[in-house]
């Protein structure tokens, strides 16, 4: 899509650094330079204000990535694109309706019962492609210790973004992305698949709540 739009050598494309190294790779393959902007801490998608701050004279496009079932703020990004004459592309597909309904049901169960972690904000039609909580404490060691302990109790959780793209050797940049860094240190994806039984859900809640008191309580 970038090449078809004439984006190439000498151009810059604003992308998120929170996951999706493939997006930065696609920009580089087109001959352009990826420029990283910070994310919104609620949706984990590009923050339009951060995108605007990253726009320069060589910026040709913005690639918005929908994350975990939340949509990027396309309205504001398209308005920004019109102001600056930028192409606005998006990456990510919505889940099938039936699967989304089942995931929302399981997410509601977790929302009501989890303690000691910050549950996701369900606004803007969240489809819960992933159920991502924040493990608040003193940074990465707490989240990683929490994940190991939960796995030890039979729950298949995972860290959704281990290293932001701007910290990878091939794309290393000296940029300040505080929300991206914080999300990379605190986020943990818990199971929310439509196939999970009530007993599975109870196991998730029991495993997480048994550890919640060890960490700073989420407010």
Q: pLDDT of 159-201, one tens digit each? A: 999 999 999 999 988 899 999 999 999 999 999 998 999 999 9
Tokens standing for 153?
């109790």
Position 130 scores a pLDDT of 94
Res 218 pLDDT > 70: no
Of residues 132 and 217, more confidence is placed in 132
Tokens standing for 194?
């439509």
Position 134 scores a pLDDT of 94
pLDDT tens digits, residue range 87-122? Answer: 999 987 656 677 889 999 999 999 999 998 999 998
Position 94 scores a pLDDT of 59
Position 55 scores a pLDDT of 97
68 burial class (0-12, 13-18, 19+ CB within 10 angstroms)? buried
Residues in CB range of 183: below 8 A, 6 or more apart: 18, 39, 41, 44, 134, 161
pTM, two decimals, is: 0.90
Res 46 pLDDT > 70: yes
């Amino acid at each position: 899509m970038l090449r078809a739009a004439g984006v190439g050598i000498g151009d810059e494309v604003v992308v998120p650094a929170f996951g999706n190294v493939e997006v930065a790779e696609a920009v580089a393959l087109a001959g352009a330079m990826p420029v990283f902007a910070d994310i919104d801490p609620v949706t984990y998608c590009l923050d339009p204000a951060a995108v605007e701050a990253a726009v320069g004279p060589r910026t040709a496009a913005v690639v918005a990535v929908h994350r975990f079932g939340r949509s990027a703020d396309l309205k504001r990004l398209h308005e920004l694109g019109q102001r600056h004459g930028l192409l606005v592309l998006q990456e990510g597909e919505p889940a099938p309706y039936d699967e989304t309904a089942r995931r929302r049901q399981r997410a509601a169960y977790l929302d009501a019962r989890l303690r000691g972690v910050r549950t996701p904000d369900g606004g803007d039609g969240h489809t819960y492609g992933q159920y991502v909580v924040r493990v608040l404490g003193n940074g990465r060691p707490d989240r990683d210790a929490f994940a190991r302990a939960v796995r030890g109790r039979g729950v298949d959780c995972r860290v959704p973004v281990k290293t932001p793209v701007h910290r990878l050797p091939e794309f290393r940049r000296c940029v300040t992305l505080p929300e991206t860094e914080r999300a990379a240190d605190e986020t943990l994806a818990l199971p929310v698949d439509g196939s999970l039984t009530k007993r599975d859900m109870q196991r998730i809640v029991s495993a997480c709540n048994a550890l919640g008191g060890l960490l700073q309580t989420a407010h």
